[in-house]
Amino acid sequence: MLTTLRRIVLEFSQDTQLQSALERMVSQIKNSLKTDCCSVYLANYSQQHFLLMASDGLAKDSFGQTTIGFSEGLIGLVGQREEPLNIANARSHPHYIHAPEVEEDDFNAFLGTPIIHQRKVLGILSIQQKHARYFNEDEEAFLVTLAAQLASALSNAEVKNLFSQEENRGVKQLLGIAGAPGIALSQIVVFQPKADLSTIAIQKVNSSKQSEQSQKFESAVNKTLADFEQLSRKLSNIITDDNLAIFDVYIQLLEQADIRQEVLAKISQGWQAESALKLVIEHYVMQFEAIDDSYLKERASDIRDLGNRLLLNLQQQTTQKLTLPEAFILLAEDVTASMLAEYQHKGLQAIVSLSGSANSHAAILAHALELPAIMGVNSIPVAQLDQQQAIVDGYSGELFINPDEALKREYQHLIAQESELTNKIQQDIHFPTITPDGRAIELQLNAGLSAGFECPDNLGALGIGLYRTEIPFMNRHCFPSEHEQTKLYEQILSGFPRKPVTMRTLDVGGDKSLPYFPITEDNPFLGWRGIRITLDHPEIFLVQVRAMMRANQHHKNLEIMLPMISNVGEVDEAIRLINQAYFEVKSEIKNKLAAECSLHDRDTYSDQNNLLPRPKIGIMLEVPAVIFQLEELAQRVDFFSVGSNDLTQYLLAVDRNNAQVASLHDAYHPAVLRALNSIAEQSAKYLVPLSLCGELAGEPAGALLLLAMGFDKLSMNGHNIARIKWVIRHVDFQRAKVILSHTLKLTTAKQVHSYLNEQLEQLDLGGFIRAGM
């Protein structure tokens, strides 16, 4: 039976047409179980009924015609109960409904089971027999198992089928990730890259042609560098120089990172230039895609974009020329920052990317260009969306294909509302973040690749609350030197003069692997990572901390944060090493100054004797164990910073990158909110400054709760700072405390979301829900 199950599911998944797949499947099930009839019904939630799609045993004329309401008949009962229903004589059951058009009068025995995907009933699978009997345990187990295995394949097939039926011209709704706020109503233009590394076959060349291949690659590199400089110039009059830093990143990847050298090394080993490029780029892409941190994971898209641009120039092709209407929505498998630069001045209204997240550089650049963006839309047949009318809701992540007039009018009203709300937000952008009744809180930036790109100066961030130091360690074949790290950290510190910059020490391991420092574990999230690695390798930790100290010598705004702390001993050992690095660097500076100063400059030397400031040291609260050690930890560190994304993941035992359980990852879960409140109360008791860096800080409702709890600082992506500042400036602290008090009494995340949305509406902040801001 197991072989039969696998064969049925495999053949269903491989069929490109949903109807033929369903018809073949019911016949296979009927023959395998030797029943008289097998049928499949699919749920239509807009019409609130199940539709008979295919059957081997019922009248063919009823396919696609016969409907059964969600609360009607045996089929509706199976859907309501969400469990199998096994009946010996169906016609005697009180829920039985006679449907003469299906011609099932001869059937008595009935077994139905729901097809459920991610808690949603997609359809009902049923078998029937003329002889009145209960189906046995093996038959029931077979049907239930088959339905469970079919659920995922059926979900994907239904999405694809939405666009394959010409007669179905109704509005179609797809859901992705809200990438950049805004609403657009326009025509879709599909972008299919002319050069795609994934299509390249790996080949070797004769040794006599290696020099020619190297020269060919070098020419492609030079042309690619020129391309990125040109794209940057196209945007230079539209957005600030800080926002153009993404193209500096591309250039640095080619000029300073090891990608160029690694490709040339592959060519010298006998690989064709295109093959060498593919091997190197795919290695880096796999490395970044394996990372759990959603911000760092998105750098894979940058590397892939760079590789495809290099391939385009290697093949000496010209950039794709699309036939464009006056206004359009750009849709692609992977929308990149370079695509936005290429088309933003040609009528681009919004972007839709089948991959990526709100942390991708395409989404960040879309924010800067004020273009709505949806990322990570479920797999759909891209080509069939070309030239179709659509609505992009960059607040909710909803994409509506072929919208009707009523939906268009609704969104045109929201566009007008959005414009009014945006103007209001801009009016407060340069004011301090203080509630009307006088409670102040600092808003800071989460950064990691280029702080300037992620937050222009005019957004008003009061420093960096989280600077991820991992990326410089990843784009290499060996650990960066102390000098290299010092130069990088100095650039970051200088970008925020007289404002604190909190640098998190190296947080790699397991899910964030380094190519030159491989780590293989069965469970990386609970394994050797973060502070555990750097304490086991003090030579790595000391070099990084020394570089931070040196970079801070003249800026005096560095704060050091330790990741993945789970016990007091880790903090003690880390502080010991930090002190060691501090006194080493201080001694080296003193000796250098002493050597440079003459006897006549002793007074100058004396004045400069204390040039090296000792940075504040803090820890990330992301492992639940530290919640019960805050009193001891408060005696050792200068500040606490909650990593709400990881804390939520560990508290709820949910991997948010696992699609099967990602919906359970909710920072508004009562347990998470109560944990955060407990942390805030203890931090206040022990007089330790408290911040939070995570997605919760960048959400209006979340920011109000954290404000009420007593958090001193909130750190978020740059594009959220203006709206969170506006919200806090328009809600009294005392009102926020009342909202928090009631929220902490609720028992489910659903209740919390409902209540907070209701409160935002009462505060005249409903626009932040409806238009998602």
Active-site amino acid positions = 361, 693
**Burial level of 249, CB count in 10 A (0-12/13-18/19+)?**
buried
184 CB-near residues (< 8 Å, 6+ apart): 329, 349, 350, 371, 372, 391, 392, 394
Rounded to whole angstroms, the Cα distance separating 656 from 766 reads 28
Extract the tokens encoding 567.
């016990």
Give the CB-side neighbour count of residue 151, counting CA atoms within 13 A.
18
Rounded to whole angstroms, the Cα distance separating 204 from 199 reads 16
Stated length of the chain: 773
> Which of 336, 356, 364 lies closest to 242, judged by CA?
364
Amino acid at 70: F
Give the CB-side neighbour count of residue 685, counting CA atoms within 13 A.
10
Looking only at the bridges linking them, the beta strands covering 442-447 and 398-401 are unpaired
Rounded to whole angstroms, the Cα distance separating 281 from 274 reads 11
Strand partners for 109: 129
Extract the tokens encoding 73.
């008949």
437 CB-near residues (< 8 Å, 6+ apart): 732, 733, 734
Strand partners for 375: 177
285 CB-near residues (< 8 Å, 6+ apart): 300, 303, 304, 307
293 CB-near residues (< 8 Å, 6+ apart): 468, 470, 507, 511, 512
Give percent helix, percent strand, percent coil of the chain, each to the nearest 5: 50, 15, 35
User: Are 79 and 43 within 8 A, CB to CB?
Assistant: yes
Extract the tokens encoding 314.
């290697």
CB count within 10 Å of CB 280 equals: 24
Residue matched to tokens 């699919």 = 42
Sign of CA dihedral 651, 181, 444, 427: negative
> Which of 728, 573, 577, 748 lies closest to 673, judged by CA?
748
CB count within 10 Å of CB 735 equals: 17
3-class secondary-structure state, position 72: coil
φ, ψ of residue 54 to 5 degrees: the values are -160, 150
Amino acid at 454: E
> Which of 250, 282, 286, 257 lies closest to 365, judged by CA?
250
Q: Which helix (H) or strand (E) holds 679?
A: helix 670-685
Which 8-state DSSP code applies to residue 326?
S
Amino acid at 627: I
Looking only at the bridges linking them, the beta strands covering 639-643 and 690-693 are parallel
User: Are 184 and 350 within 8 A, CB to CB?
Assistant: yes
User: Are 71 and 97 within 8 A, CB to CB?
Assistant: no
Note the maximum CA span of the chain: 113
